[in-house]
């Protein structure tokens, strides 16, 4: 091979190596993880259940979205019956959704109630620090009748150990620190999105949040299993990762007037 040919091969190899190193060293917050994505990856999309799903009250249709959905035609969503949306705002203290403004403000312009959620990475920083980052970048709340309480998405670690290397007691303390800080800054307890299996493994099935924090849980099937300890009922059900609306498909466990009541605190 000629010298120029060998030089070209060498440069290509160096470029490939540099690209790989950059990808490997990317900060966790540089990625955008959708709500429930790690639960679906670990637990699957059909969850075992102990009881059939029988709605005792009317269900209100909605969705949750992230940057993966890009700019959304909210008038079309409203036309299909969508009533609410949760929009990913932040992850850890390093990531903000670049489509947040269009998704969040655009949805309310089309008449949908909206809320913001934060993807937790508990081994990157404390609960209070991530709560502050969240509230500062879209996670605020106002009593306008259209804004749902902030939400914490806490699930399997996409970067390593399932429970982020935290003990059950440390995880409970982290969630409490996040919840307390959001309450202090927004006057609302955050909704908690998690799975029963993860919550049991990583918090010891701690029952201490059911009295104040609404529960949002994924069941990608036709049945509902046992809820985490402390919660007597479900507030939001994420039942599919695609369907009528952009993003994940959700149902609020109640009629529209009850959704309105949740928004108003």
The answer to whether residues 50 and 226 touch, using CB atoms and an 8 Å cutoff, is yes
User: Active-site residue numbers?
Assistant: 64, 153, 155
Cα dist from 17 to 8, 9, 10, 103, 175, whole Å: 14, 12, 11, 37, 39
């Amino acid at each position: 091979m000629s010298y120029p040919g060998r030089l070209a091969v060498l440069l290509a190899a160096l470029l490939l190596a540099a690209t790989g190193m950059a990808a490997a060293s990317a900060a966790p917050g540089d990625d955008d993880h959708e709500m429930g994505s790690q639960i679906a990856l670990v637990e699957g999309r059909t969850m075992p259940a102990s009881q059939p799903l029988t709605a005792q009250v009317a269900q209100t249709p909605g969705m949750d979205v992230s940057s993966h959905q890009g700019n959304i035609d909210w008038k079309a969503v409203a036309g299909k019956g969508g009533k609410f949306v949760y929009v990913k705002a932040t992850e850890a203290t390093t990531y903000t959704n670049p489509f947040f403004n269009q998704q969040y403000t655009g949805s309310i312009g089309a008449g949908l109630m909206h809320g913001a959620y934060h993807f937790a990475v508990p081994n990157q920083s404390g609960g209070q620090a991530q709560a502050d980052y969240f509230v500062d970048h879209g996670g605020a709340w106002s009593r306008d009748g259209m804004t749902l309480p902030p939400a914490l998405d806490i699930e399997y670690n996409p970067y390593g150990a399932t429970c982020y290397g935290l003990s059950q007691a440390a995880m409970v303390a982290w969630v409490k620190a996040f919840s307390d800080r959001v309450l202090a800054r927004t006057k609302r307890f955050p909704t908690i999105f998690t799975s029963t299996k993860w919550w049991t493994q990583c918090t010891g099935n701690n029952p201490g949040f059911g009295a104040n924090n609404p529960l949002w849980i994924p069941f990608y099937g036709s049945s509902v299993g046992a809820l985490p300890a402390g919660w007597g009922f479900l507030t939001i059900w994420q039942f599919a990762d695609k369907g009528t609306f952009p993003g994940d498909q959700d149902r609020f466990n109640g009629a529209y007037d009850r959704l309105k009541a949740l928004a108003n605190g």
